[in-house]
Amino acid sequence: MKKTTFVALLILSTSCFASDLKTALTSIESQWATIYYQTPKPQQGSAYQQLLTQADNLAEKFPKAAEPLFWQAVIKATYADQQDGLSALQAVNEARDLLTKAIAIDPKTMDGSAYVTLGTLYYMVPGWPIAFGDSKEARKMFQAALKINPDGIDVNYFYGEFLASVNNLKDAQKHFEIASKAPTRSEQGFADNQLKQEAALALKNINNRKISHIKKIFLSLLNPDKTK
């Protein structure tokens, strides 16, 4: 085989590899958004389990890619809301480890969304000795994401939620405004539009001085009232 032919085949196979991964990731993102925003709560558990299997298979197929690890973490973390306290704690610990691994492979993966999700976990789960919750770490994660994607929808929305939770309303308002006006990404259109609506609502609540502390992701995680 001529050298030029080999190089051409190598480039083609790399292109197909990347295209294959992107298509699979887009499918997982779309399914996750449908489950999270549209599927009735009683049906979400089994749907997350099936989607996690897809993400696990993708991670095995692309062991050096950061994105499948990111989606494994997101699915595990959101599925935790459907589980009992101990199982939920294990799930969020696994999600944290997967996100850390994804960031080690590529800090800019998903335009900084790995940092956003990790920051959200740090501020939403209980602190020591129950779990690893830490507001200082949460802030560091959000700020790292902002350096990567300062105008992103997810980083500004969830950082705004964090800031509102610590009663920093002025800065929260700024980030909600950015999120509500940010361009929608074509590959994550559905989820982005949902977040933009949430950002607009949060902005309205701040303006009315009616801050909602309902966390729209990992809702009621490890909440003892879930068992009542």
Residues contacting 117, CB < 8 A, separation 6+? 70, 73, 74, 77, 95, 99
Residues contacting 145, CB < 8 A, separation 6+? 112, 113, 115, 116, 119, 152, 155, 159
* pLDDT score recorded for residue 20: 87
Alpha carbons 205 and 203: distance in angstroms, whole number: 5
Q: Is the pLDDT of residue 18 over 60?
A: no
* pLDDT score recorded for residue 11: 32
* pLDDT score recorded for residue 59: 97
Torsions phi, psi for 184 (to 5 deg): -80, 135
* pLDDT score recorded for residue 81: 86
CA-based torsion, 15, 190, 78, 43: positive or negative: negative
Following DSSP, what letter does each residue of 185-205 receive, concatenated? Answer: PGGGHHHHHHHHHHHHHHHHH
Overall average pLDDT of the 75-89 stretch: 91
Q: Which of 204, 145, 216 is nearest to 169 (CA)?
A: 204
The pTM assigned to this predicted structure is 0.80
Q: Which amino acid is at 67?
A: E
Peptide bond preceding 63 in cis form (omega within 30 of 0): no
Instruction: Give tens-digit pLDDT for 176-191.
Output: 999 988 877 766 677 7
* pLDDT score recorded for residue 207: 74
Local confidence band at 15 (pLDDT 50, 70, 90 cut-offs): very low
Instruction: Give tens-digit pLDDT for 36-65.
Output: 989 999 999 999 999 999 999 999 999 999
Under 8 Å between Cβ of 182 and 203: no
Torsions phi, psi for 127 (to 5 deg): -85, -175
Alpha helices in 39-66 (DSSP H): 41-61
* pLDDT score recorded for residue 226: 39
Per-residue tokens: 226: 């879930």
Under 8 Å between Cβ of 210 and 112: no
Sequence spans of domains, the chain:
40-142, 150-227
Under 8 Å between Cβ of 145 and 179: no
The percent of residues in the chain predicted with pLDDT above 90, rounded, is 57
Instruction: Give tens-digit pLDDT for 126-154.
Output: 898 888 999 999 999 999 999 999 999 98
Alpha carbons 133 and 118: distance in angstroms, whole number: 10
Q: Which CATH superfamily is domain 40-142 in?
A: Tetratricopeptide repeat domain (1.25.40.10)
Under 8 Å between Cβ of 155 and 149: yes
Q: What is the DSSP letter of 221?
A: T
